[in-house]
Amino acid sequence: MDDNDLCDIGYDPYQFANVIGDGDQPLYPGCMILQGDLLPERNTLPPSMYDAKKTLSALGMSYEKIHACPNDCILYRKDYEDSTHCPTCGISRWKEDKDSILNEGVPAKVMWYFPLIPRFKRIFQSRKIAKSLTWHAD
């Protein structure tokens, strides 16, 4: 990837290039993909959600947190954005504490939505990758 591949992306292209360079680095010597506590010492996987979020933001990958019904009936957005109970099953949107008291402001379930357009922008900003992805049109 060179400077020409890093077209107008709205943030520091060199920070993005550093993150891309980190993608070529193995997780650990003799790498096999494992998760959680199964990873050996000296692995380079982000140790926390905070570090993973920093990596996503360096890539220009935003996300949106959307409250959801605990029974997966609806998402609390658009018409239901201000609702406090699910219109389908009637369960509260808010999490209950140990004493069955509702903690308003603390959602019972949250979905992380990663919008497609920023993802497509990242994929198609490299001419080489874009050519590979549009072979069928050519």
Please give the Cα distance from 17 to 15 (Å, whole number).
5
Residue type, position 136, single letter: H
In a domain, 74, yes or no: yes
Q: What is the pLDDT of residue 94?
A: 92
In a domain, 121, yes or no: yes
pLDDT < 50 stretches in the chain: 1-9, 34
Q: For the chain, how many structural domains are there in total?
A: 1
Q: Do the beta carbons of residue 27 and residue 33 sit within 8 Å? A: yes
In a domain, 115, yes or no: yes
In a domain, 7, yes or no: no
Tell me the residue range of the domain where 91 lies. Answer: 13-133
The H or E element containing residue 106 is strand 102-107
User: What does pTM read for this prediction?
Assistant: 0.56
In a domain, 8, yes or no: no
Q: What share of the chain is helix, strand, coil (3-state, %, to 5)?
A: 30, 15, 55
Q: What is the pLDDT of residue 105?
A: 83
